[in-house]
Amino acid sequence: MRKMKKRTNENEDRQTNGHEPSGSPDESKQQHPDLSGLYFISFQPMGRAAYRGRVESAVNGLLLIELYDWSDNQPIEKRLVPIALAEWNDEFETGWKFYPDKQALEEASQELTEESEES
């Protein structure tokens, strides 16, 4: 019976041609941009604002988010949500719009508040 050579490193056996194999931890990074640290406003169908907050981290297709209160802009809770919820859908005007900092979030929130008061 032929003895098998003991593997010292599993990566030696992979034929990747410079790419990670399918299903690797890096796959989700390639499919989605890093949203960590960005602020957002989420929208329900027909562009109605629903939530706003900040993405604390993004790992394996999930986002850890902190939601802010609309009235006083204070954090109210944290949630773990699938990243797919953040993807924008032009047909239904749903998804999330992202902002680089809290000031940009507050300006966008103010514009939405003014628009809803005019309606």
Q: Where are the domains of the chain?
A: 31-118
Among 98-102, 106-110, 112-116, name the one with the lowest average pLDDT. Answer: 112-116
Res 98: pLDDT: 96
Res 72: pLDDT: 87
Measured over the CA atoms of residue 23, residue 26, residue 27 and residue 32, the dihedral's sign is positive
Whether 10 has a pLDDT exceeding 50, the answer reads no
Nearest in space to 41 (alpha carbons), one of 96, 86, 115: 96
Res 58: pLDDT: 92
Separation CA 102–CA 35 (nearest Å): 14
Res 34: pLDDT: 86
Among 18-27, 45-54, 93-102, 110-119, name the one with the lowest average pLDDT. Answer: 18-27
pLDDT tens for each residue of 17-52? 333 333 344 444 446 678 999 999 999 998 889 999
Whether 11 has a pLDDT exceeding 60, the answer reads no
Estimate to the nearest angstrom the gap between the alpha carbon of 107 and the chain centroid. 21
